[in-house]
Amino acid sequence: MSGAANFYEFAVSAPGGAPLALSQYRGRVVLVVNTASQCGFTPQYTALEQLYRQYQQQGLVVLGFPCNQFGGQEPGTDAEIATFCEKNHGVTFPLLHKIEVNGKHAEPLFTFLKTQAPGIFGSTAIKWNFTKFLIKKDGSVFRRYAPTTKPEQIEADIAHLLAL
């Protein structure tokens, strides 16, 4: 789906592989994150959950996409990942099927996101776990955030987009 115009035109896989149309989130602000359970940034799960709980009723959705492409830091199955995240970080936001974000098998959604919001020096590659993309209510990409950007540093942007 390389010719997609916005986020809502994509379908991804839910845990276990069932298709999930992102159009169900139309009109909401969405924070997309490639995640990993054995990474130095893994504590960000807790802060992501806090944002989700604080702004969910106002229209925020956080979508976690587990990825094992960086240092093999997400080796588990979808079920193991979900259990870990819920037990250790209280995660209730949706965690999707484990994907790749770079290379020839990259999830098409991430290919789109990387093109719409390139990284530093125009790079379209994702450099590490916990790269974040903030999606506006109209399905356009607002901004890309580095793995080192803590979720609480994105809060002002989220509040701004929710108020529009």
Q: Which residues are catalytic?
A: 39
> Which pair of tokens denotes residue 62?
């956080």
- Which residue in this structure is represented by tokens 């996409």? 65
Element spanning 162, H or E: helix 155-163
Rounded to whole angstroms, the Cα distance separating 71 from 55 reads 32
Rounded to whole angstroms, the Cα distance separating 22 from 142 reads 17
